[in-house]
Structure 1
């Protein structure tokens, strides 16, 4: 456990981990069954439900699935990496292979590199040198991405264009791991699209553009102001006191500093651990507190939250 936790905090966390819930991880197992059952159920019932009701139900389900994949890569509900990979490999969200998400996200957890472009794979900032060589339209998109409506509209296309460029380079260089990962992911995606075309009222194109893409956009609300540049690594990560339904869609990852400090702590324990020592977490974050996503919509629908340029790089 982190060295700055006092004895009481360590005892509280250890008590949670050895409890029946902590040992069995039944909430995560239940969620897995619910998401898998919900996906197949909605697909099979879609001819009766209709295309648009199915679409509106499927989007939050995919957002929840992406949050659940995050739990799997952090060692829940089992400590067996191969089993968690098997549980999370379904390409419901389409765009990111599980292993790519797992490897880049664990690299992102090097807190000393948080937000630093070129070192943090999830950074949305550009170095000052790269900014100088960025075209005017690309600069405009980066500024729009720093507003919350802009993140919803342009965040996913920007992320996917970066994914396309980066992974194309790896494939052209003949990296064996990249070819194996994408061919396996592609095969499962083709199988999923066959199921959608055969057993649902949806088309593959509808699923891609009107379900998977909007779900990725909604999931990016969480990462909109999740990190900020700061001299001190622990002050780069937000505490967002979001309420339902956001905290359930994101599995309480809005309490992001608690997760970064305790990445092995299961999602269902984050609120209790935060509430027990709220003032200490706020002090550790340097006051990096957001009072829910409504505050971000209110303050940053027109005004960018900060600059796309990283101030220290």
Structure 2
């Protein structure tokens, strides 16, 4: 429990954790079963649904799967890391092996490093040195990535290109862990694509380019303005009071400061923890409040929200 919580706040959080819901984790189990059943059901029923209805339904399901994987790596629904890994390894989203996502995301939770390029693996900022060495074309791409529309269209391709380059360097350097991880992920992905080709009307290229990539693009909207550079680490994580469809799709990660302060708190308890102490959370965040994703679309659809260059690294 964070040291800056007073006794009453600690008791409130402990009460949430001792509820039957939190002890059994039934919402997360139900969610896991629902996503697996939904994915296989949609793929197998795609001949009756048709190509495009299958696509429209699978995209948000894959986005939800990414959110479920996030819960698994934070210790839900079990405290057994290997079991959670087994539950979350299905490559429905294709591009990121579960263990790669888990390891980089847990490193991201070192709050003193948030947003700092080279130290935060999820940073969307560049060092001054890298900025100076970038071409006008590359700078333009990063500026576009700081708009909501640019983030939606370019966020996934830029992230995948960076991932490919980073993992290529590891593998050419003989990193055995990287080789094992990608061979395992590749084999499972090949099995999944073979299943899709055999039992659905979805062409493999269609699933790869028109389902998994759009799902990743939607997930990029969640992380578009989750963090900002500030001297105080607790003022770097957003409190986004998003509407319920987005909260459900992202499993309440819009309350991002609450999640960073209490990373072990399950997705269904984040809104309770936030609403019980809303003013305190807002004060702790330094007023880092967004009134839903619609506000970001209206204000920053085509206008960069800040500079791609980190201001104080």
TM-score by length of 1: 0.99
1:140-169 CA-partner distances (Å, limit 9, x unpaired): 110000000000000000000000000000
State the distance in 2 between where 1:58 and 1:25 align: 25
For structure 2, the 5+ residue unaligned runs are none
Question: Counterparts in 2 of 1:181-260, with a 5 A limit?
Answer: 181-260=181-260
Per-residue Cα deviation, 1:79-101 (whole angstroms, up to 9, x for no partner): 00000000000000000000000
Residues 251-284 of structure 1, C-alpha deviation per residue, up to 9 Å, x if partnerless? 0000000000000000000001000000000000
- 1:285 is matched with 285
SS of the aligned residue for 1:268 comes to coil
Match of 1:119 in 2: 119
CA–CA separation in structure 2 for the residues paired with 1:191 and 1:155: 27
Partner of 1:44: 44
- What SS class does the counterpart of residue 194 from structure 2 fall into? helix
The equivalent of 2:6 in structure 1 is 6
Partner residue, 1:170: 170
Offset of residue 290 of structure 1? 0.2
1:7, distance to aligned residue in structure 2 (A)? 1.4
- Across the two proteins, how many residue pairs are aligned to each other? 313
TM-score, normalisation: structure 2: 0.99
Other-structure match for 1:161: 161
Alignment of 1:72-87 (within 5 A): 72-87=72-87
- Which residue is equivalent to 1:91? 91
The gaps in structure 1 that reach 5 residues or longer are: none
Counterparts of 1:229 and 1:16, CA distance in 2: 31
Q: How far 1:18 sits from its partner (Å)?
A: 1.4
Aligned to 1:308: 308
Question: Is 1:53 the equivalent of 2:53?
Answer: yes
1:9-63 per-position Cα deviation (integer Å, ceiling 9, x unaligned): 1111111111111110000000000000000000000000000000000000000
Could you tell me how far apart the structure 2 residues matched to 1:129 and 1:51 are? 47
1 CA distance for matches of 2:184 and 2:302? 41
